[in-house]
Structure 1
Amino acid sequence: MHTFVNQVARINGVINEWVWGIPMLILIISTGIWMSIRTGFFQIVRAKIVGDETFFAIFKKRHVTKTKDKKAISQFQALSTALAATIGTGNIAGVATALTVGGPGAIFWMWVSAFFGMMTNFSENVLGIYYRRKNMYGEWSGGAMYYLENGLGSKKGMKKIAKFLAILFAIFCVLASFGIGNMTQVNSIADAMHSNFGIPTLVMGIILAVIAALVVIGGIKRIGRVTEKLVPFMALAYIIGALVIFFINYRQIPYVFGSIFKDAFNVSAVGGGIGGYVIKRAATMGFKRGVFSNEAGLGSSVMVHSSSDVKEPVIQGMWGIFEVFFDTIIVCTLTAFVLLSSSSDAKSQAKVFANITTDSQTFSIAEHIDEDKEVPLIDKEYSTLVIDVDSDGNAKLYTEAPADGEYLELKAYGNSYYVKASKKEDRTEDDYIYTNIMSIKGNVAKDSNGKTVKDSNGNVVLDSVKVEQINGVSLVTYAFSQKFGDVAAKLLAIAILLFAFSTVLGWSFYGTKAIEYLFGTKSMVFYKVIFVCFIVVGATLNLSLAWSIADTLNGLMAIPNLIGVLALSGTVVKITRNYTKRKIKKDDVNLEPMLSAFPDIQKEQEEKMRAEEA
């Protein structure tokens, strides 16, 4: 069984490296660039109108937040459900990972990804509304599978290929919904609640499953009612907390933005032949985390946007622009600022390694500077200690001393043990990290009977040391704790609960619409029951491999979706120009609107528009 799991992991690793490799990231970004050019950079030129029709419309236009349609959700509910699925642990852990691996420059490339991703998301939503249909219950059904089959499939000789791509997308979506949209999110919740509040993972899984069942079984209307209340609350709470740190650390603003732009372009800052590599890695991590955060190009959120009661495809496209802007430019940037503006106390190697205990200790080592001086959490200028932990948990230290091949003597409770060290100059490109904050703890020695070994003085003997880089949620928690104290861990645990659970709700709908496309409307109830059951599974299992597989499946969704977006880019342009002439420039107010590819729906929507305008 162990061999089988390892084989699956290796195969998935190869596929994942390809899916999230440079060619795919270039395809995703290129699609955004192409759609930006073809629409005349709509996200900039029409920025005011986008704001008026989305964020500001929430407070001014009642029809944006309320709907009389019993089979659809409001525009705001569609946005909230889409944000519920996209604003997840990726906005916390994902940003930390991007910074740790890619450095501060990764944030710049995340912004670039979001800027062009706005138009990818815009295009997806426009196509989603234009090609959506109604199911047997009178509910809207839309998404990449529909504009692939009915849009791409309408082109000469493309019917079978389009149908194949649509089915492929739906299959990937269903599988991803159990991984990235369910088990991995629930696992994060269960771990956070157990470590901070002592709630057993099984109990947490059952509680979440019951709550999710009450919401998910109720369909999109109930999901929309929950997310329109949950998302604004959780987003506002997190933003306020981040803004508090922003204003406390306001003196760090020049440093933060300086480090982002410097690291994004400055090859000489690294030196040697790895400068280009470091910039490439910063760009790769920024693009990857940006796409993973806002899902632009994956074709996922278009399924819920297609359930909106909106008539104009371009209006829902604008909500797609706002979704990416809010998710990445606002939330992710604030997380990055919290991390880049925070610091820790530097300690000498002698002090850190002189008293290792079984408790995890957090420290930051910066050589050749005054001890107890504050150093940034993330900054390669200070990062003189590199920890490399192999698959067996053995730690190798890269440092300036001692000489290569020698050993550092680490003392714990009077006992000495050793960790092999290598010189900093011998590190390879992949060894370079940017986090200065580490965690170290001793592992208790056990005898042949499994009993704890003690020395003659009764001290516990440690036979190994675990040194690891602080990353992900732990790094964000540390940064928040610098200002909010120990309560920060509990606050972040609650934030993870809200962020991750909202993702579960959003993805439950994505999977439902995908399963409906594959097997029909009656299959949706069966899927929902299975989906809820997997919540308990996700709360109790070790899901390191599941995370990786889910990441792969999520990326695979982009392939058929982007083919559809690029092939139908001309349709997006026509619909956008049609709306611009009628509603923005008002050159031809009598021009027939492009609301649907299907005559019956086109007629129905036109009649509703005239009734609303009368």
Structure 2
Amino acid sequence: METLTQFITAINDVVWGPPMLVAILGTGLFLQLRLKCMPLTRIPAGFAMVWRGRKAVPGAPGEITPYAALMTALAATVGTGNIAGVATAIAIGGPGAVFWMWMTALVGMATKYAEVLLAVHYRETDDRGEQVGGPMYAIKNGLGRHWRWLGAAFAIFGGLAGFGIGNMVQSNSIAGALDGAFGIDPWISGIVMAVCTGFVLLGGVKRIGAVAEKLVPFMCVGYVVASLIVLGMYADQIPGAFVLIIDSAFSPVAATGGFAGAAVMMAIRYGVARGIFSNEAGLGTAGIAQAAGQTKNPVESGLVGMMGTFIDTIIVCTMTALVLIVTGVWNGGLKGAALTAAGFDAAFPGFGGQFLAIAITIFAFTTILGWAYYGEKCWEYLIGTSVEAPYRVVWTLFVLVGAVTQLDFVWLVADTLNAFMALPNLISLLLLSPVVVRLTREYWANYERDRKRAGTPAGQRS
């Protein structure tokens, strides 16, 4: 077992090494430039689309509203990465890692926009009459039959990775948090999680979307408000925190307290890697959820989808990072969720750890639901819709297994499979980038023409 672990570790170091980080950032930057920074300049339009997408789109194909599709995608992305992932990045890479997380998000918005646009543009109707899409369908329908093996590769890696990174790792985080904060036995929390997961999955994407619509805004707003209260208590430390983040992004950080020091390359590596783990830009998964959303134009789906990266990293991850830095716990020698708990405990003694346990529980549970849908669509692509019922049973059982099992090896394998997921997706994004640019150009040209016909003031956005 030790030999196998060393072998997988060596592969992981390669696939998540500088070449992969450059490939993901480079693809995002390439798309951002080809789109003339449209994802950044149209952020207000993206928020408007999210707000407008709360209502069903009459006559549009899709199973759930655009808003519910975004919440389903956010359910899978806003998870332990926003709490434990950010803390680990800072604990190993220093505060400068936060700057590189921001850069990952800014270029990642273009990546996420393109992923969702292609997923919706090339989506299909399955034998139950439901809309399905994602990188595998974009590859099959966009690149042609000679590339189908690449779509199958994505589905295999995604279908396997989900059981680790989207299931057992999440339930294990919940069980550990509840055990540490409230003394709840992992078996009890595991059984409760499995029952709740099974109940939601029985309703398919419509029930997942309905639960996500309620839980995701609640957890995001609640976590941000709690973080803002902490920042208000340490308001005088905020300017220094931003200076430290920017300085550390370009200068080595000396060892202080329990912090071992970090080189610039370490800040870049952990900032980019944890940023990708958090917002999943480059993995292609968001397009699977957004393809189920009602829409008449894939560009509008892309605008909604890219806001997930903004909310996940620029807002939620930044809140975690600032709490760790302003409270001064970042260099205390802790890592992961324990470090974030220390930050909230510094502001709310005796309650901070319990608050974080509740936050992890909600964040990770919604991730289990979101990834359940991702994995199901991957296996349906490979086997067919007949896999639905057995898949949901197995997924639910793995929730319980993850809660009561030591998962260091599972985490390692799942993290490696995540990197393998990214490769087919990045290839398809680059090869299909002309389609993304063409559809985007046509949409905004029509938008400006319609606005002029309607006499809408130039500065007003729909």
Normalised-by-shorter TM-score class: over 0.9
1:10 aligned onto 2:6: yes
4+ runs deviating over 6 angstroms: none
Q: Is the 8 A contact 1:15 1:552 kept in 2?
A: yes
Q: What's the CA shift for 1:194?
A: 1.6
Partner of 1:536: 400
Of the three residues 126, 135, 139, the one matched with 1:144 is: 135
Matched ranges for 1:202-601 at <5 A:
202-266=187-251, 278-343=263-328, 377-378=329-330, 435=331, 437=332, 469-584=333-448, 586=450
Q: Is the 8 A contact 1:71 1:138 kept in 2?
A: no
Structure 1, unpaired ranges of 5+: 154-158, 271-275, 344-376, 379-434, 438-468, 590-614
User: In structure 2, how many angstroms separate the alpha carbons of the residues matched to 1:520 and 1:42?
Assistant: 37
1:73 aligned onto 2:64: yes
Matched ranges for 1:95-110 at <5 A:
95-110=86-101
User: In structure 1, how many angstroms separate the alpha carbons of the residues matched to 2:43 and 2:162?
Assistant: 33
Partner of 1:39: 35
Partner of 1:64: 54
Indicate the structure with greater strand content: 1
User: In structure 2, how many angstroms separate the alpha carbons of the residues matched to 1:277 and 1:569?
Assistant: 37
User: In structure 2, how many angstroms separate the alpha carbons of the residues matched to 1:585 and 1:254?
Assistant: 44
User: In structure 1, how many angstroms separate the alpha carbons of the residues matched to 2:425 and 2:445?
Assistant: 28
User: In structure 1, how many angstroms separate the alpha carbons of the residues matched to 2:75 and 2:233?
Assistant: 29
Partner of 1:29: 25
Q: Is the 8 A contact 1:167 1:518 kept in 2?
A: yes
User: In structure 2, how many angstroms separate the alpha carbons of the residues matched to 1:251 and 1:544?
Assistant: 39
Q: What's the CA shift for 1:48?
A: 2.8
Of the three residues 148, 155, 159, the one matched with 1:163 is: 148
Q: What's the CA shift for 1:198?
A: 1.9
Q: Is the 8 A contact 1:118 1:324 kept in 2?
A: yes
Report the more deviating stretch, 296-305 or 36-45.
36-45
Q: What's the CA shift for 1:267?
A: 5.2
Q: What's the CA shift for 1:25?
A: 0.6
Deviations 1:246-280 (A, max 9, x none): 1111101111011011111235979xxxxx98111
User: In structure 2, how many angstroms separate the alpha carbons of the residues matched to 1:257 and 1:202?
Assistant: 42
User: In structure 2, how many angstroms separate the alpha carbons of the residues matched to 1:171 and 1:23?
Assistant: 22
User: In structure 1, how many angstroms separate the alpha carbons of the residues matched to 2:221 and 2:254?
Assistant: 37
Q: What's the CA shift for 1:84?
A: 0.5
3-state SS of 2:105 partner: helix
Q: What's the CA shift for 1:44?
A: 2.6
User: In structure 1, how many angstroms separate the alpha carbons of the residues matched to 2:337 and 2:106?
Assistant: 26
Q: Higher RCO, 1 or 2 (CA under 8 Å, sep at least 6)? A: 2
Letter of the structure 2 residue corresponding to residue 80 of structure 1: M
User: In structure 2, how many angstroms separate the alpha carbons of the residues matched to 1:326 and 1:230?
Assistant: 15
Partner of 1:88: 79
Letter of the structure 1 residue corresponding to residue 339 of structure 2: L
Q: Is the 8 A contact 2:112 2:282 kept in 1?
A: yes
Structure of higher CA gyration radius: 1
Deviations 1:379-434 (A, max 9, x none): xxxxxxxxxxxxxxxxxxxxxxxxxxxxxxxxxxxxxxxxxxxxxxxxxxxxxxxx
CA 137–244 in structure 1, closer or farther in 2 if over 3 Å, else same = same
Letter of the structure 2 residue corresponding to residue 490 of structure 1: Q
Q: Is the 8 A contact 1:300 1:510 kept in 2?
A: yes
Q: What's the CA shift for 1:301?
A: 1.3
Letter of the structure 2 residue corresponding to residue 558 of structure 1: A
Partner of 1:373: none
User: In structure 1, how many angstroms separate the alpha carbons of the residues matched to 2:448 and 2:107?
Assistant: 22
Letter of the structure 2 residue corresponding to residue 196 of structure 1: A
Partner of 1:184: 169
Structure 2, unpaired ranges of 5+: 256-260, 454-462
Q: Is the 8 A contact 2:56 2:294 kept in 1?
A: no
CA 261–71 in structure 1, closer or farther in 2 if over 3 Å, else same = closer
Deviations 1:468-526 (A, max 9, x none): x3111111111101111111111111111100000000000001100110000111111
Partner of 2:458: none
Q: Is the 8 A contact 2:57 2:295 kept in 1?
A: no
User: In structure 1, how many angstroms separate the alpha carbons of the residues matched to 2:16 and 2:440?
Assistant: 31
Letter of the structure 1 residue corresponding to residue 21 of structure 2: L
Q: Please provide the CA RMSD for this pair.
A: 1.8
Q: Is the 8 A contact 2:327 2:347 kept in 1?
A: no
3-state SS of 1:502 partner: helix
Q: What's the CA shift for 1:34?
A: 0.6
Q: Is the 8 A contact 1:208 1:535 kept in 2?
A: yes
Letter of the structure 2 residue corresponding to residue 88 of structure 1: G
User: In structure 2, how many angstroms separate the alpha carbons of the residues matched to 1:84 and 1:572?
Assistant: 26
Q: Is the 8 A contact 2:62 2:295 kept in 1?
A: no
Q: What's the CA shift for 1:70?
A: 9.5
TM-score of the pair, normalised by structure 2:
0.94
Letter of the structure 2 residue corresponding to residue 534 of structure 1: F
Deviations 1:218-256 (A, max 9, x none): 100000000000001111111111000111111011110
Letter of the structure 1 residue corresponding to residue 280 of structure 2: E
Deviations 1:507-557 (A, max 9, x none): 000011001100001111111111111111111110111111111111110
User: In structure 2, how many angstroms separate the alpha carbons of the residues matched to 1:337 and 1:268?
Assistant: 17
Letter of the structure 2 residue corresponding to residue 164 of structure 1: W
Letter of the structure 1 residue corresponding to residue 276 of structure 2: V
Of the three residues 12, 19, 35, the one matched with 2:15 is: 19
Partner of 1:611: none
Q: Is the 8 A contact 1:65 1:77 kept in 2?
A: no
CA 577–262 in structure 1, closer or farther in 2 if over 3 Å, else same = same
Letter of the structure 1 residue corresponding to residue 426 of structure 2: L
Query: Percent identity over the alignment?
Result: 43
User: In structure 1, how many angstroms separate the alpha carbons of the residues matched to 2:415 and 2:252?
Assistant: 30
Partner of 1:393: none
User: In structure 1, how many angstroms separate the alpha carbons of the residues matched to 2:116 and 2:154?
Assistant: 16
